[in-house]
Structure 1
Amino acid sequence: MSESLDLLVLGNAIVDVIARTDDAFLGAQGVTKGAMQLIDEERAEALFSVMGPATIVSGGSGANTAVGAALLGARTGFVGKVRDDELGGLFAHDLKATGVAFSVPAATDGPATARCFVLVTPDGERTMNTYLGACQGLTPADVDEALVAKSRVVYLEGYLWDPPAAKDAFRKAVQIAHTAGNAVALTLSDAFCVGRYREEFLGLIRDGSIDILFANIGELQSLYETDDPDAALKALRDERNGRGMHLLGLVTRSSEGAVVVKGGEIRSVPASPVRDLVDSTGAGDLFAAGFLAGHARGLDHIACARLGALAAAEVIQHIGARPQTDLVALAKAQGIV
């Protein structure tokens, strides 16, 4: 791709397998409600065999953000690894069909394309069991230096911090982006993910690797090891990197909306109205998509957060983490763009 991008996402290339269920099923399967748990291929096959009817769609947290931003008019690209199998082909086709640039070669051997079993309970909460498969094979060689240098924001998915080679890919992307004068964003992804890599994530923030941080309030509380959400927000507000600069932080709080933390200030943005909460999968991903698409349009931080809240509200009113409504039309109707 010769043209520049507004957003380049590095993340897990995953196909979502989504099924409705209930708390009893979660208990019987021994899974933690509302969390993301990593599973092996044997467990993946066993879980699939006992799940109810499922919807199969391309997913992955970072890919959802790339697609959402593209549907809001941003020029986006995605860096992730699939296998040259049926699900890998489905993932690549779906991504490109929405206008997201995706050119990472598929693996020709090794584990199958990753899949995430998303179990949605009647309250709209989603519980994820993820077989990472081929997406763990992302390496620095898959990071195109020219592409990163031409991307105004490079967005890193916290979930991808698990595989060691992917960490090296992240670090390579950060160095290239900052050398080119571009911004780097990180999403914390999951409170359990934060628990595994708290010190490393804080290190990325404090050494200046990260310019923009996305998190939900639970993830932020995990990051700062506090049960007090206000204390977590104040800790983020006071956070500075090695150059003494404040971080831009975007924190979602479910029905309470979102918070923009910048320059020592904490500002709240209300949630967009939701008629019927069906599936909370992708809410944070689409908030980030809306915010970053607004950023690409040159909107101020509050308007960007409003666009993020609108995109998040749309996606939780149906099954699946990809928008089903014209987001640009919705944003225009609300006077955001």
Structure 2
Amino acid sequence: MTAQTLDVVTIGNALVDVLAKAEDSFLETHGIPKGSMTLIDEPRALHLYDAMGPAVEVSGGSAGNTAAGIASLGGKAAFLGKVRDDQLGAIFTHDIRATGVAFDVPHAGSGPATGRSMILVTPDAHRSMNTFLGAAVEFGPDDVIDAQVQAAAVTYMEGYLWDSPTAKAAFLKAARLAHAAGRRISLTLSDPFLVNRYKDELKDFMEKHVDIVFANEEEVCSLYDATDFDTALQCVRAHCDVAALTRSEKGAVIVAGEEVHVVDAAPVKEVVDTTGAGDLFAAGFLYGITNGQSLYDSGRIGALAAAEVISHVGARPERTLADLVAAQLGPAQAKRA
């Protein structure tokens, strides 16, 4: 068996986030659905960029944010995704490597430009994402670095990539590699609109290949056409070994067989921007379970990581999460068990 040298390898869209504050009227004027992720083409991305107010650009993407959070907690993480050999590709590569995450997929020399997500944050802290996937949609089986998947305790897959047929093939390859090496596979459902497009495919993939699933309340209810959370919880527990279900200010519920753990949301003085909350919860939870923590304590680490990221603009932590966890939960949760 390949030796474990990584806690988590994440697979997802390699995107540069362009974040700006906006009023609800801006969303209405430009036909942007509030609180969701909309796929757009490059001309639309350029148009929105010109119309947006002052913006901050930082490497992002859901799985990239999760990898950065794991590194901030002191874990060993790698990211698999696709960028072009252009300016934004260089920004993405520099930023994610600077967080301590390994990113070794070669840049594409042709094809679409590096993807970017235009994120509008309204005064109520909701974020509306307008995403041009660009080169990210070209990610395929040949971009999977076999050795990293085989060496990672968990391979974490971003549901947003499910729109790409080549990425689906890459997911399947990674799942087979991981399980053959005795590792685990994790999937985040990412977005309720995506779930509605592919619910049968996702349920089939979960049942056959996924050990740990992440979803928020709306996503898991959409997956099972459930009218309430408790019904969805009972359905998802039959599809995978562990389900980590987030419920915003209500905290999270971790279910594994007959085990059910309710984790309170960590307090935050002011919710500034919810971008990345689910990504950082996943980071904390995955760090915990790959470093000897219980399901409940892993959920607590996830809640703290999510609280940190919603306290400021941007989807990457602004303070070292290992220090935050040590201060709030004690050093035992902040270091490798």
Q: Deviations over 1:18-49 (max 9, x none)?
A: 00001111111111100000000111111111
Unaligned runs of 5+ in 1: 241-245
Shift of 1:335: 2.1
Provide the rounded CA distance (Å) in 2 between the counterparts of 1:282 and 1:227: 26
Using the TM superposition, name which of 4-13 and 260-269 deviates more: 260-269
What is the aligned partner in structure 2 of residue 33 from structure 1?
34
Unaligned runs of 5+ in 2: none
Q: Deviations over 1:160-200 (max 9, x none)?
A: 11111111111000000000000000000011111111111
Paired letter, 1:228 = D
Paired letter, 1:71 = S
What is the aligned partner in structure 1 of residue 91 from structure 2?
90
Does residue 215 (structure 1) correspond to residue 206 (structure 2)? The answer is no
1:267 to 243, 256, 261: 261
Paired letter, 2:17 = D
2:283 to 289, 305, 308: 289
What is the aligned partner in structure 1 of residue 297 from structure 2?
303
What is the aligned partner in structure 2 of residue 243 from structure 1?
none
Provide the rounded CA distance (Å) in 2 between the counterparts of 1:256 and 1:314: 16
What is the aligned partner in structure 1 of residue 187 from structure 2?
186
What is the aligned partner in structure 1 of residue 174 from structure 2?
173
- 3-state DSSP class of the match of 1:334? helix
Shift of 1:155: 0.3
Q: Deviations over 1:265-313 (max 9, x none)?
A: 3321000001010000000000000011111210000000000000000
- 3-state DSSP class of the match of 1:132? strand
Does residue 324 (structure 1) correspond to residue 306 (structure 2)? The answer is no
Provide the rounded CA distance (Å) in 2 between the counterparts of 1:264 and 1:117: 41
What is the aligned partner in structure 2 of residue 163 from structure 1?
164
Provide the rounded CA distance (Å) in 1 between the counterparts of 2:325 and 2:18: 29
| TM-score where L is the length of structure 1 | 0.96
Does residue 277 (structure 1) correspond to residue 278 (structure 2)? The answer is no
Overall identity of the aligned pairs, in %:
53
Matches within 5 A, 1:46-125: 46-125=47-126
Paired letter, 1:82 = V
Provide the rounded CA distance (Å) in 2 between the counterparts of 1:296 and 1:151: 9
Q: CA RMSD in A?
A: 1.1
Shift of 1:227: 2.5
Paired letter, 1:218 = E
Paired letter, 2:9 = L
What is the aligned partner in structure 2 of residue 230 from structure 1?
230
Aligned length: 329
What is the aligned partner in structure 1 of residue 241 from structure 2?
247
- 3-state DSSP class of the match of 2:187? strand
Paired letter, 1:38 = L
| TM-score where L is the length of structure 2 | 0.96
Provide the rounded CA distance (Å) in 2 between the counterparts of 1:251 and 1:70: 22
Provide the rounded CA distance (Å) in 1 between the counterparts of 2:276 and 2:14: 14
Provide the rounded CA distance (Å) in 2 between the counterparts of 1:69 and 1:139: 24
